[in-house]
Amino acid sequence: MHASRIGNLLVRGMLAGLVAALCAFAVAYGLGEPSVDASIAVEEAQAAHEAHAGHGAAAAEEEEEAPVSRSVQSTAGLATGVLVYGVALGGIASLAFCFVLGRIGRFTPRATAALTAAAAFTTVYLVPFLKYPATPPAVGNPDTIGKRTTLFFLMILLSVLLGIAAIIVGRRLAPRLGNWNATLVAGAGFVLATAVAFVFLPANEDAVKPSFPAALLWEFRLASLAVQAVLWTAFAVAFGTLAQRLLMPGLPRTEQAARDVPAAG
């Protein structure tokens, strides 16, 4: 693909990432922030109870005011973080799209964008989330945050590498098994290899305090999952539309639909 075409797709990917981030921010603010506020309230209540009982040095110290207020964190801070995150991932995903376009089958740019977004969501977020699910702030053991962060990023790296390996295996098996059967075999291999990684990687047993309410924990985790799902779905729709208009501006709808359906092997 020509460098200028890649540059155009990169700009469109970042723009689509911005649109997706706005959608994700709406979900994060509406679903995620209430559970974060509730989590902070639980931690403050537990800290107040310990201070009242005279446990630790906290009983004699004044509570320090946070350098950034909670209202700013939940609005401007959240928006800034999500927007930067979305634009960056949109740019990276658009480069991945340029690499796989035409290499995974005779799909239109719109369908390729959807497949790229689905693969990114699965490998970068869903698989690591299943092993090391998100936790609300300030509810885990602060002494192990470095170890937990390392394990999470290690799981992301393993998931991405296994996903790439599955794509390579699927492509090599396609001439013998057909596209459909090769995809099933490669997918099964990915699931099996991921299960093995889940077994051998250590668990985050101290990621959440035992006294933290289980219902609130899962409410936060489901909200986190929803934010990522909306982010990647919105990106797939926005970038797929922009890429389609750039690369195939005159392709009839009937031909687009025919090319988006893989041939069964």
Q: Residue 59's pLDDT is what?
A: 42
156-162 mean pLDDT: 94
Q: Which of 8-12, 54-58, 149-153 has the lowest mean pLDDT?
A: 54-58
Neighbours of 195 (CB within 10 A): 9
Q: Which residues contact 76 (CB under 8 A, 6 or more apart)?
A: none
DSSP string, the chain: --HHHHHHHHHHHHHHHHHHHHHHHHHIIIIIHHHHHHHHHHHHHHHHHHHHTT-SGGGGSPPPPPSS-HHHIIIIIHHHHHHHHHHHHHHHHHHHHHHHTTTSSS--HHHHHHHHHHHHIIIIIIHHHHHS----TT-S-GGGHHHHHHHHHHHHHHHHHHHHHHHHHHHHHHHHH-HHHHHHHHHHHHHHHHHHHHHHSPP-TTSS-TTS-HHHHHHHHHHHHHHHHHHHHHHHHHHHHHHHHHH-TT--HHHHHHHTSPPP-
Task: Taking residues 6-17, report their average pLDDT.
Answer: 92
Instruction: Give the residue among 209, 199, 204, 201 at the shortest CA–CA distance from 148.
Output: 204
Rounded to a whole number of angstroms, the distance between the first and last alpha carbons of the chain is 29
- For the stretch 180-205, pLDDT in tens is 888 899 999 999 999 999 999 888 76
- Is 30 or 60 the better-scoring residue by pLDDT? 30
Highest mean pLDDT out of 43-47, 137-141, 240-244 = 240-244
The structure tokens listed for 72 are 């700013």
Kindly state the average pLDDT of the residues 11-36: 90
The angle that helices 214-247 and 109-120 make with each other, rounded to 10 degrees, is: 160
Sequence-ordered list of residues with C-beta below 8 angstroms from that of 92, at least 6 positions apart, any chain: 13
Mean pLDDT, the chain, rounded, equals 81
- Strongest mean pLDDT among 4-8, 22-26, 74-78: 22-26
pLDDT at 214: 77
Q: Residue 194's pLDDT is what?
A: 94
pLDDT at 52 over 90: no
Nearest partner of 244 among 87, 16, 23, judged by Cα: 16
How far is C-alpha 75 from the chain's CA centre? 21
- The mean pLDDT of 59-76, rounded to a whole number, is 60
Residue-level pLDDT at 42: 72
User: What confidence category does residue 77 fall into, taking pLDDT thresholds of 50, 70 and 90?
Assistant: confident
The yes-or-no verdict on residue 140 having pLDDT over 70 is no
What are the phi and psi torsion angles at 209 (to 5°)?
-65, 140
More confident residue, 74 or 103: 103
Average pLDDT on 115-125 reads 92
Higher pLDDT, 122 or 248: 122
Mean local confidence (pLDDT), 40-52? 69
pLDDT at 205: 66
d(CA 13, CA 236): 10
| Lowest pLDDT segment from 92-96, 147-151, 167-171, 183-187 | 147-151
| Percentage of the chain lying above the pLDDT 70 cut | 77
pLDDT > 60? residue 258: no
Q: Between 79 and 129, where is the model more confident?
A: 129
Give the model's pLDDT for residue 255.
53
